[in-house]
Amino acid sequence: MESVYHRIRNQHLQYKVVSAEEAASWIKDGMTLGLSGFTRAGDAKAVPMALAERAKTERLKVNVYTGASLGSDIDKLFAEVGLLHKRLPFQADPTMRKKINQGEFYFIDQHLSKTSEMVRGQVLEPIDFAIVEAIAITEDGMIIPSTSVGNSMVFAQHAKSIIVEINMAQPQALEGLHDLYEPGRQGERLPIPITKPDDRIGSVGIPVDMGKIRGIVFTNQSDSPSTISVPDKETDTIAQHLISFLRKEVEAGRLTKRLAPLQSGIGSVSNAVLHGFLKSEFTDLEVYSEVLQDAVFDLMDAGKVSFASCCSITLSAPAMERVFPNLDKYRDRLILRPQELSNHPEVIRRMGIIAINTALEFDIYGNVNSTHVMGTNMMNGIGGSGDFARNARLAIFVTKSTAKDGNISSIVPFVSHVDHTEHDVDVVVTEQGYADLRGLAPRERAELIIERCAHPMYREQLKEYYNEALTRGGQTPHVLEKAFSWHTNFAQTGTMLHKMLQTG
C-alpha cells in the first residue's frame, strides 16, 4: 500500500478507498454528475463504466456534464445503455451522436468556457457527484488532475459529493504542471491576471472541502489515444495557404515572426495545419489553446514552440509513448488550466490570439457552421471555437472545399446552421486558397470567397446563385427560396452539383 500513501497523502482520506462498483452504487436515478475528461484525456473511467453496467439491469437516468468529449468508449457505453437524460457541453462519439440525433436524450451544445459560469451561477441542475480523475490527493486535500483539467474544478467545488479516481497509469510527472484558479462569481470577481501564456496564477491542484470526498477509486488505465489521421495533400495545402496569409501579415507589420499566441481546434485538419508551421519561418511561437495535439509537441521538439498552455493533452498512441515518459523535458514549457481559463474571452481578447478552427461548411458571406450536418444532425458540438473566434485577433476557419468525393461543397449559398456569424470570421482557408474578409462588406466577401476558396467544380454554381441574389438587392443578397437548395438537392440526389453541370 506504499503507493496509496504516496497518492493519497492525507491519512484521513486513505480510509475512503472503495471499489468502482461501490462508488457507482451511490448514484441514484435522476442525479446529475460532473465528470472530468476533455477530448479523451483525463476522463474518469472506472466509476462511469460501473455505472453503465448498472444501467443495463435497472432503471437509471442521469444528467452528465463533462469538460468535453470522453474517451474509453464511455460516451458510447452511456448512449448504448440509455443512461442519459441530459448531456452537455460536447461529445464526439459516433454512437452517442446517433442517439442524440434520434432524440433519445437531450444534448446541450455550449461554448466550453460557459459551462462553469452556469454551474457557479446555479443555473443548471445542481451536481450530486463530481467524479474526477486524479494522479494524487495532497495532504491538504488538493486534487491533482491528470491529462486534462476541463471543468473538474468547478464540478468538484460545487458538487454535493466527490468521487476521485486515482489513475496509476497516468504519468506522475504531470504533478506541478496544472494551474488551478477559481475566478469567483460574476459581479464579485477581479480581473484574471493572465497576460501571457506562461503566467501561473493559481494552485497546482483543486482545493476542495475534504469532507465532500466520499470515495476514492484506484484505476490503472491509459487515456484513449486520439484517432487523428496524418496530414494529407489537401491539409498540407491548407497549411501552406494559411502560412502565406500569416507571412503577409508579418510583411504588413501587423505581426512579427513570433506571430501571436496560437489556438488550434481539435481534429485532424487543425492538427495538420499546425503541423505546417514546422516548415515555416515562424519561430519562438506560443500556444494558448484548449487541447494540445501531436503537432504542438512536434513543434516543441523542433524548437518552434517555446510555451504551450492548454486544458487537455490529447495524443495519438505513438505521441503518448514519446511524450508521457519524457514529461520532464516539457515541464518548463507547459501549463494545464481549467477550460474556463484556457477559453476565457477576457484572456483571449487581451492576448490577441490567432484562432484556427475547423468549419463543417461556410457560406458566401462568411457565416460558419461548425456543428450541424445538413442543418439538423449534430456532429460534435461548437466546442471552444466560439470562445476563441469571437475574441481573437484573427479568427481563421479552415476546411477542405468539398466532402463526400466532391458531392458536398463546403462553401454554400447559406449555411444550414450558424455557429459563427459573419462578424466573427476574419479569414477562411481551403485547399483552394484563402479569403481575408477583414473590413469587407458582404458583397465583397462573396466575390472573394467564391473566387479564392470554392472548389472549381462549384464555382460557377455559386456565382449563378450570387448573381441571381444580386438581382434581389440588399446588404446581404439572397434568393431565400433557393438558399438551402444545395442541401435539399444533396438529400434527394446525393450531390450538391447541379444536373447540368454533372452531365456537361
Is 13 near a second copy (CB under 8 A)?
no
The 3-state secondary structure of 272-306, one letter per residue: HHHHHHHHCCCCCEEEECCEECHHHHHHHHCCCEE
Residues 402-421 that bind a second copy (CB under 8 A): 416-421
Which is it for strands 427-430 and 394-398: parallel, antiparallel or unpaired?
parallel
As a whole number of angstroms, the distance between CA 14 and CA 234 comes to 53
**Secondary structure class of 339 (helix, strand, coil):** helix
- Which residue among 317, 444, 494, 501 contacts a second copy (CB under 8 A)? 444
Q: 370: which DSSP letter?
A: S
Question: Which residue is catalytic, options 133, 175, 290, 340?
Answer: 290
Distance separating alpha carbons of residues 106 and 108, to the nearest angstrom: 7
C-beta of 36 vs 113, nearer to a second copy: 113
Least CB distance to a second copy at residue 365 (A): 9
| Count, residues near a second copy per rule CB under 8 A | 84
- Judged by CB under 8 A, the stretch of 70-78, 228-236, 324-332, 350-358 that binds a second copy is 350-358
| Residue 24 CB, nearest approach to a second copy (Å) | 25
Q: Can residue 193 be called a binding residue for a second copy (CB under 8 A)?
A: yes
Residue of the chain from 12, 56, 185, 279 that contacts a second copy (CB under 8 A): 185
Q: Report CA 190 to chain centroid distance, whole Å.
A: 26
Contacts with 223 (C-beta within 8 Å, 6 or more apart), sequence order: 40, 41, 42, 43, 71, 72, 146, 147, 170, 314, 320
For residues 34 and 215, which CB has a smaller minimum distance to a second copy in the complex? 34
Residues in 354-393 that interact with a second copy by CB under 8 A: 367, 372, 374-378, 382, 386, 390-391, 393
Q: Give the residue with the Cβ less far from a second copy, 439 or 456.
A: 439
- Least Cα distance to 258 among 227, 234, 282 occurs for 282
Q: Tell me if 101 contacts a second copy by CB under 8 A.
A: yes
502 binds a second copy (CB under 8 A): no
Max CA pair span of the chain: 78
Interface residues for a second copy in 132-171 (CB under 8 A)? Answer: none
Looking only at residues 60 through 99 of this chain, which bind a second copy when binding is defined by CB under 8 A?
86, 88
What phi and psi, each to the nearest 5 degrees, are found at residue 464? -60, -45
- Residues 6 or more apart whose CB falls under 8 angstroms from that of 253 comprise none
Contact region with a second copy (CB under 8 A), list: 161-169, 213-221, 302-310, 470-478:
470-478
- Residue 364 C-beta: closest distance to a second copy, Å: 13
Integer Cα distance of 125 and 155 in angstroms: 12
Residue corresponding to grid cell 497509469: 169
* Binding residue for a second copy, selected from 75, 93, 109, 223, defined by CB under 8 A: 109
b/e string for 92-108 if b means 16 or more Cβ within 10 A? bbeebbebbeeeebebe
Binding track, positions 112-131, relative to a second copy; x by CB under 8 A: --x--xx--xxxxx------
Instruction: For residue 201, state whether it binds a second copy (rule: CB under 8 A).
Output: no
Got the DSSP string for 145-156? --SB-TTHHHHH
Residues 16-55 that bind a second copy (CB under 8 A): none
- 476 is an interface residue for a second copy by CB under 8 A: yes
Restricted to residues 234-273, the positions that interact with a second copy (CB under 8 A) are 252-254, 260-261
> Does the annotation count 117 as an active-site position?
no
What string marks each residue from 478 to 497 as x (binds a second copy by CB under 8 A) or -? x-xx-xxx-xx--x------
Would you name the residues annotated as active-site residues? 290
